[in-house]
Amino acid sequence: MAIVNLDISANAIGDQGATALSSALAFNGTLKNLDLHACSIGDEGAKALASVIIDGNITVQGLNLK
């Protein structure tokens, strides 16, 4: 069973966790929605996530960082 929606909101993963997650997203082929609100992600983490989604991950359609 593939994960299509992932909600890990309210976990303080910060920029380091977001950067690690962005590395995993580079190999993702099924995840469509990712909820990361209230995860203490700053500019660097958001940039890492955006970079992988824009440059290579064509499956992610929804990303919540609010």
What are the residue boundaries of the structural domains of the chain, listed by start? Answer: 5-64
Q: What is the DSSP string of the chain?
A: ----EEE-TT---HHHHHHHHHHHHTT-SS--EEE-TTS---HHHHHHHHHHHHHT--S--EEE--
More confident residue, 20 or 1: 20
pTM: 0.88
| 2-22 pLDDT per residue, tens | 899 999 999 999 999 999 999
